[in-house]
């Protein structure tokens, strides 16, 4: 009793300081213990990481602030259509395990441009690959730094920019000191923090809604309110009653769902910060196994998220729909202050009408103006999708420490991904550009210094974009996958499975693929070519910019193969490399 009182009296804010402070101390301690002594430590963590540790690190690297905070919210509003993220961001690991990881590990170098440069015996190919890696990683990391800032500002009541700077300092510390080795072991700790923080509230809510402690099963169970109705039937019913699409049906066309899922899967398999993780294990068979472990650990969160989405959606509708505004619960008022939820009484009846449509009009910058209700529809409620995870513990009336745990988890997710990306950027610069192209005579120590300096440079650039986000960053992050799918994936696959593929074909394919993706993105996502953003009806084959990576990848394959047919075959030693990487034994250690 005494103890309970003590725990209650600490309060959310102090719990957050305690838990976040504790986890940060752990990350920094690990970074000091595992600092890098050689370039091999810095790029591939010494090459001796166990499959389990690598699997955990890959999972933390992979799951960003977007997976942790936003994904359940997106699914909650998109219903069935949310499956593109679930299948897209997990299915890629099957491709990675079966088609890439074992062979790249056997090849035994440090980076993806290393593979492209050696396999296609060409500095031009290496250079094109470096540019693609930088483009993909920078679009992705800018969003992450912003994510770090937002998480800090929401939970620690600091300004977003201060949050970005705190995040920069922490990442700077362990990425610069520890390199891949430091990052790998902090990511192991970060995985534990983030999965615990995601599962605890999910289990509580599942029990509350359905009486089933396993969210994945509660998802398909009956409601615990005694009605005997299935949760999903109830949700379908509520959705159509309020004019939304039926939750389990969705509203995107099948071809677009198909294209987006495929682009995300292939993009996942082509992302340099994911691929390099498989350079860090000892042998080829460890690379296969750790891909399996990583996916298993990711799927724990990814199968829970859609359940959380359905619980939160049902809970939200039942709590607010047609209820008097005067009697809303505390969490509603609290999140109203931060504008994550907002109510405007269009018909002055004092009740909340929550139906299909935008409650407010948008400003020129595309953001909602909360002083301008949109009278074109009857909807009176604006709900930010992030609230589905952030406010979940409060909606379910969980204890304060659980609310603080969500903050620590969100930070772990954002920091681990940012660090992984920064490492790819710094090794692209110090290894692929400086060591392999500009100054091959650089010493081991010189390269290690260059690696640390590029990490510092990369953190500063990422921090700058986090503080001054260009308007297009948010729109572009999702497209990093399309860029990766359109550039690396075909070049790597053909490099392994098609001995005859030569440098002319691969270079042409990468250039055409990434250019096609960029142009489509600029035209249909950013709208820079026209006065206004072109309408959906103009999309090629009805495929959205997010799904266009699939088309650009197919283009890359076709161009590569056609050009190859008209040019000479690769030299004998390169064909021998290909023969060699197909055999798992004698993988040796990663070398320059």
Partner 1 sequence: MSKTKNAKAYWRENIKYVLVLLFIWFLVSFGAGILFKDQLNTIRFAGFKLGFWFAQQGSMYVFVILIFIYVRIMNKLDKKYGYDA
Q: Site residues (CB under 8 A) for partner 1?
A: 75, 80, 82-83, 86-87, 90-91, 93-94, 97-99, 102, 216-217, 219-222, 230-233, 248, 254, 257-258, 261-262, 285, 288-289, 291-292, 295-296, 299, 302-303, 306, 579, 582-586
3-state secondary structure string, 394-443?
HHCCCCHHHHHHHHHHHHHHHHHHHHHHHHHHHHHHHHHHHHHHHCCCCC
CB 312 within 8 A of CB 72: yes
Q: Report, in Å, the least distance between residue 483 CB and partner 1.
A: 22
Q: What angle do CA 476, 477, 480 make, to 5 degrees?
A: 90
> Cβ closer to partner 1: 13 or 216?
216
Q: Report, in Å, the least distance between residue 169 CB and partner 1.
A: 36
Separation between Cα atoms, residue 275 and residue 188, nearest integer Å: 17
Closest Cα partner for 68 from 88, 92, 85? 85
Separation between Cα atoms, residue 10 and residue 178, nearest integer Å: 35
Question: Using alpha carbons only, how large is the chain's radius of gyration in Å?
Answer: 25
Q: Report, in Å, the least distance between residue 41 CB and partner 1.
A: 26
Cβ neighbours of residue 118 under 8 Å, at least 6 residues apart?
107, 109, 577
Coil vs helix vs strand at 324: strand
Separation between Cα atoms, residue 16 and residue 8, nearest integer Å: 13
> Cβ closer to partner 1: 296 or 541?
296
Q: Report, in Å, the least distance between residue 75 CB and partner 1.
A: 8
- The continuous run of DSSP H or E covering 199 comes out as helix 160-210
> Cβ closer to partner 1: 105 or 431?
105
Q: Report, in Å, the least distance between residue 105 CB and partner 1.
A: 13
Q: Report, in Å, the least distance between residue 582 CB and partner 1.
A: 5
> Cβ closer to partner 1: 90 or 417?
90
> Cβ closer to partner 1: 253 or 319?
253
> Cβ closer to partner 1: 261 or 315?
261
Q: Report, in Å, the least distance between residue 97 CB and partner 1.
A: 5
> Cβ closer to partner 1: 165 or 307?
307
Q: Report, in Å, the least distance between residue 546 CB and partner 1.
A: 15
Closest Cα partner for 64 from 177, 140, 176? 140
Q: How many CB atoms lie within 10 A of CB 515?
A: 14
Strands (DSSP E) found in 334-400: 341-343, 360-362, 368-373, 381-383
Q: Which two tokens stand for residue 322?
A: 């047609």
> Cβ closer to partner 1: 350 or 586?
586
Q: Report, in Å, the least distance between residue 96 CB and partner 1.
A: 9
Separation between Cα atoms, residue 147 and residue 416, nearest integer Å: 12
């Amino acid at each position: 009793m005494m103890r309970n009182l003590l725990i209650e009296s600490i309060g959310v804010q102090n719990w957050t300081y305690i838990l976040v402070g504790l986890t940060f101390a752990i990350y920094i301690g690990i970074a000091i213990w595992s600092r890098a002594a050689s370039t091999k430590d810095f790029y591939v963590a010494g090459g001796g990481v166990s499959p389990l540790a690598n699997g955990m690190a890959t999972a933390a690297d992979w799951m960003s602030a977007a997976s942790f905070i936003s994904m359940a919210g997106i699914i909650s509003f998109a219903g069935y259509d949310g499956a593109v993220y679930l299948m897209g961001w997990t299915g890629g690991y099957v491709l990675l395990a079966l088609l890439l990881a074992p062979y790249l590990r056997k090849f035994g170098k440090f980076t993806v441009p290393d593979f492209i440069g050696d396999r296609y015996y060409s500095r031009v190919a290496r250079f094109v690959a470096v540019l693609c890696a930088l483009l993909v990683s920078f679009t992705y990391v800018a969003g992450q730094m912003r994510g770090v800032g937002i998480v800090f500002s929401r939970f620690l009541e600091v300004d977003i920019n201060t949050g970005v700077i705190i995040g920069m300092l922490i990442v700077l510390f362990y990425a610069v000191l520890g390199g891949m080795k430091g990052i790998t072991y902090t990511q192991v700790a970060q995985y534990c923090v983030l999965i615990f923080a995601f599962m605890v509230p999910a289990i509580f809510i599942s029990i509350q809604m359905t009486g089933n402690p396993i969210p994945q099963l509660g998802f398909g169970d009956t409601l615990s309110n005694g009605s005997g109705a299935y949760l999903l039937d109830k949700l379908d019913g509520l959705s159509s009653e309020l004019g939304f699409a039926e939750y389990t049906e969705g509203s995107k066309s099948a071809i677009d769902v198909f294209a987006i899922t495929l682009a995300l899967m292939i993009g996942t398999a082509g992302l340099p910060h994911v691929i390099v993780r498989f350079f860090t294990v000892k042998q080829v068979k460890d690379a296969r196994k750790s891909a399996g472990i990583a996916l298993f650990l990711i799927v724990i969160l990814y199968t829970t998220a859609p359940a959380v989405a359905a619980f939160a959606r049902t809970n939200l509708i039942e709590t607010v729909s047609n209820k008097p505004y005067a009697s809303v619960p505390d969490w509603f008022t609290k999140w109203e202050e931060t504008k994550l939820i907002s109510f405007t009484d269009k018909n002055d009846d004092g009740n909340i009408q929550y139906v299909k449509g935008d409650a407010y009009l948008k400003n020129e910058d595309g953001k909602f103006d909360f002083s301008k209700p949109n009278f074109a529809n009857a909807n009176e409620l604006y709900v930010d999708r992030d609230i589905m995870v952030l406010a979940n513990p409060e909606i379910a009336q969980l204890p304060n420490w659980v609310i603080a745990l969500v903050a620590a988890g969100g930070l772990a997710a954002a920091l681990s991904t940012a660090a992984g990306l920064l490492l790819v950027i710094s090794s692209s610069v110090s290894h692929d550009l400086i060591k392999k192209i500009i100054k091959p005579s650089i010493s081991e120590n010189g390269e290690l210094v260059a690696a640390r300096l590029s990490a510092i440079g990369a953190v500063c650039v990422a921090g700058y974009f986090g503080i001054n986000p260009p308007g297009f960053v948010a729109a572009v992050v999702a497209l990093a996958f399309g860029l990766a799918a359109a550039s690396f994936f075909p070049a790597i696959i053909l490099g392994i499975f098609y001995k005859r593929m030569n440098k002319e074909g691969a270079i042409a394919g990468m250039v055409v693929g990434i250019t096609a993706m960029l142009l489509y993105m600029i035209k249909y996502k950013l709208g820079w070519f026209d006065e206004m953003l072109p309408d959906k009806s103009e999309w090629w084959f009805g495929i959205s910019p997010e799904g266009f990576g699939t088309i650009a990848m197919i283009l890359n394959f076709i161009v590569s193969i056609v050009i190859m047919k008209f040019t000479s075959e690769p030299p004998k030693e390169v064909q021998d490399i290909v023969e060699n990487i197909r055999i798992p034994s004698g993988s040796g250690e990663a070398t320059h």
